[in-house]
Structure 1
Amino acid sequence: MPEIQLGAHTIRSHGAQVARFHMHDWLILMLLVVIEIILNIIEPFHRFVGEEMLTDLKYPLQDNTVPFWAVPLIAIILPLIVIIVFYFIRRDVYDLHQAVLGLMFSVLVTGVITDAIKDAVGRPRPDFFWRCFPDGKGVFHPVTRNVQCTGLKGIIKEGHKSFPSGHTSWSFAGLGFLAWYLSGKIRAFDRSGHVAKLCIIFLPLLVAALVGVSRVDDYWHHWQDVFAGGLLGVTVASLCYLQFFPPPYDVDGWAPHAYFNMLADSQNANQSSSTNVNALTVRQLEFDSVYIRSPRNDNAQDSSSILENMESGRRN
């Protein structure tokens, strides 16, 4: 396991550096937001709904137990609060940045896939009859017996977006990512046998499941829509988490890949600098030894010995 340096990499010291390195990822997130907005504006496919098909689509039209505005709070804000709390505990900007980036990718990728399928499939909701005919009087094509809706256009548009469940997919994407994140931080799979850690992990998944159940209870979705949405959200959340973090059962599952890559680069830089210093020392020693053995010194010694012999000869 690499050396742990808690509190050494904060937003102030390394935040700008980490954000610049992932600049293209944030640009992709902005593109996903634009795509998500477009998918909610365009008209979904209006599937053929015959008179006889309305038998299973006459459930009452009622309000949402979990309103639309509450989904971002559950899927994004709640996990963000937990991630920020861990930042104040560990003071590690690498963990904060990668967790926020992974969470946003998880939710937005899930949202784009969900709404793209909604628009392409155009499955009617269980309460489609009352969306199409708010007065309860059906109007059908004289030949094909296809519905000719008399309700409000916006309500009818939402009536063709049953599959898959957006509430469920978003909830499982955000809270599923949170479950992965918590399992790594509390080291739930360290083989110590603490069942309480598993309860902490299952809690976000339970909340997401209850959101999905509410969609069936409110007659906004069929059970197949909820099942597909939950499976989609969990799958995308798992892929996004493992893109930024090691598996929770790994010995290094408590921190993101970027943190360990940074430590490895720092160690390589230190080893490189120490190697350069050693190389300069060896070269200096070699230079000194060559200077001592210089041919100029040998010639000077030979010439001085010759002069001494000539002087001694004259004296004799």
Structure 2
Amino acid sequence: MFSVLQMQSRTKALFTSYCKDWILVVVVLVAFSIVDQLEPFHRQFSVRDVTIQHPFAKQETVPVWLLLTLSFLLPMATMGAIAVFQRRSYTDLHNALLGLFLAQSLVLIVTDSIKIAVGRPRPDFLDRCLSLYDNANAGIPLDQLNNPVNLLSNSTICTRTDLLRDGFKSFPSGHSSFSFGGLGFLSMYLAGKLHLFDERGHIYKSLVVLAPMILAALIATSRVADYRHHWQDVTVGSFIGFFFAVFAYRQYYPSLASNKSDRPFSPRIREDFLPGGSFLGIGSGSNDNNGQRYRDDAGDDDDTRVALDGPSHHSAENESGIGFGQFFRRDRTDESLTGNGHGGPNKNVVGTESRLLPV
């Protein structure tokens, strides 16, 4: 009975800790849906500007459904498979999904807000506005267009309105930011799991890590080929996406330079909520009350141990397999953030400066 109540307390504490994160992600997505309904700024333009005279492509190389599949569902499925079947870690699964949702929600709200505020015409804007390449349906030939004397034109000259609103949302590229947000996060995730920067130079690791980035770059450049965006839109959009991918990743994972880069940060619950006793295979010795319990997230490592104020007494043979308890497992800290406070050789004692400990 006591163990059941203890489990319920841990579950409640964990849910309360991360519930705020998920709620904020949902709030950002709701805000994006509201902002997306706003009318973008209608920037003035010149009908003689050759950069906005391209034809409107009815078929996109990467439509929205394919963008969602490649930049969101693919990273989610890949990280989920690695976390569940290879890492066997619910903490890793949760952190990966939360980080991906955070990155993409921030990408959407920031990209769309800039689009609406700037109101830059797309490369195919004049065709959207005046049907330049559809003369059979009252299209206006380009040679008959003129700007007002000493002035620029505005959207009031447009005879076509069904595509006009989206025509003022060129900067920055949403496809580019979304693709680099999701696939960039996946690239960071793979780099951490493979220890890309372990200073041993494995080419296969670089190829695996760069594959999502190459796919993101192909998606971004397709927007230029489709005349949906200028090259500046794609460049800035790609930077926005990758920036938030790195930002979101570092909220829940160590630096790629860390020798523990394959480990997610520990659950944000107090020490007394961490499972102990037979639940984690930890002995009930007297030192457990005074020392800080600490556990690897992956249960099959040879060097998994419990950090106490003295030598470790935990055996790897007591590791439990996949189960709900893995969600509570503590992850090892980077060696640069651990120590016994006295400069001694004991690297298993968790220091007060560790980022991986809850505060």
| Range that drifts further, 87-96 or 219-228 | 87-96
Match of 2:167 among 159, 165, 169: 159
Structure with greater helix percent: 1
Q: Does 1:189 align with 2:197?
A: yes
Match of 1:95 among 92, 105, 109: 92
Q: Does 1:31 align with 2:27?
A: yes
- Contact kept, 8 Å, 1:75 with 1:107, in 2: the verdict is no
For 1:32 and 1:260, the matched residues in 2 are separated by 22
For 2:268 and 2:259, the matched residues in 1 are separated by 12
Partner of 1:64: 60
Label 1:267 to 1:77 Cα distance change in 2 as closer, same or farther (>3 A): closer
Partner of 1:289: none
Q: Which amino acid aligns with 1:61?
A: F
Partner of 2:263: 255
For 1:92 and 1:264, the matched residues in 2 are separated by 21
Label 1:145 to 1:23 Cα distance change in 2 as closer, same or farther (>3 A): same
Q: Deviations for 1:239-275, whole angstroms, at most 9, x for unmatched residues?
A: 1101110012211111111259888985999899825
For 1:215 and 1:267, the matched residues in 2 are separated by 51
- Contact kept, 8 Å, 2:46 with 2:147, in 1: the verdict is no
| Range that drifts further, 137-146 or 82-91 | 137-146
Label 1:25 to 1:219 Cα distance change in 2 as closer, same or farther (>3 A): same
Moved over 6 A (4+): 138-141, 260-265, 267-273
Identify which of structures 1 and 2 has the higher relative contact order when contacts are C-alpha pairs closer than 8 Å and 6+ apart. 1
Q: Deviations for 1:92-116, whole angstroms, at most 9, x for unmatched residues?
A: 1111111100001101101110000
- Contact kept, 8 Å, 2:13 with 2:269, in 1: the verdict is no
Question: SS of the residue aligned with 1:253?
Answer: coil
Identical positions, percent: 36
Label 1:276 to 1:216 Cα distance change in 2 as closer, same or farther (>3 A): closer
Normalising by structure 1, what TM-score?
0.76
How large is the Cα RMSD of the aligned pairs? Answer: 3.0
Partner of 1:126: 123
- Contact kept, 8 Å, 2:67 with 2:179, in 1: the verdict is yes
Q: Which amino acid aligns with 1:58?
A: Q
Query: What 5-or-longer segments of structure 1 have no aligned partner?
Result: 1-11, 279-316
| Range that drifts further, 266-275 or 77-86 | 266-275
Question: SS of the residue aligned with 2:218?
Answer: helix
Q: Does 1:198 align with 2:194?
A: no
What is the correspondence of 1:227-306 to structure 2 with a 5 Å cutoff?
227-258=235-266, 266=274, 274=286
Partner of 1:284: none
Q: Deviations for 1:182-208, whole angstroms, at most 9, x for unmatched residues?
A: 011122222222111010000000000
Q: Deviations for 1:48-71, whole angstroms, at most 9, x for unmatched residues?
A: 113333x32111110210001211
- Contact kept, 8 Å, 1:115 with 1:166, in 2: the verdict is yes
Q: Which amino acid aligns with 2:161?
A: L
Give the number of aligned pairs. Answer: 265
Q: Of the two, which has the highest radius of gyration?
A: 1
For 1:183 and 1:276, the matched residues in 2 are separated by 35
Match of 2:140 among 132, 136, 150: 136
- Contact kept, 8 Å, 2:44 with 2:152, in 1: the verdict is no
Question: SS of the residue aligned with 2:220?
Answer: helix
Partner of 2:215: 207
Question: SS of the residue aligned with 2:240?
Answer: helix
- Contact kept, 8 Å, 2:55 with 2:127, in 1: the verdict is yes
For 1:176 and 1:28, the matched residues in 2 are separated by 22
Partner of 1:291: none
Label 1:258 to 1:136 Cα distance change in 2 as closer, same or farther (>3 A): farther
Partner of 1:76: 72
Label 1:273 to 1:40 Cα distance change in 2 as closer, same or farther (>3 A): farther
Label 1:77 to 1:253 Cα distance change in 2 as closer, same or farther (>3 A): same
Label 1:228 to 1:275 Cα distance change in 2 as closer, same or farther (>3 A): same
- Contact kept, 8 Å, 1:130 with 1:136, in 2: the verdict is no
For 1:277 and 1:220, the matched residues in 2 are separated by 63
- Contact kept, 8 Å, 2:84 with 2:93, in 1: the verdict is no
For 2:265 and 2:100, the matched residues in 1 are separated by 15
Q: Does 1:150 align with 2:154?
A: no
Label 1:119 to 1:182 Cα distance change in 2 as closer, same or farther (>3 A): same
**Deviation, structure 1 residue 137:** 4.4
Query: What 5-or-longer segments of structure 2 have no aligned partner?
Result: 1-7, 132-138, 291-359
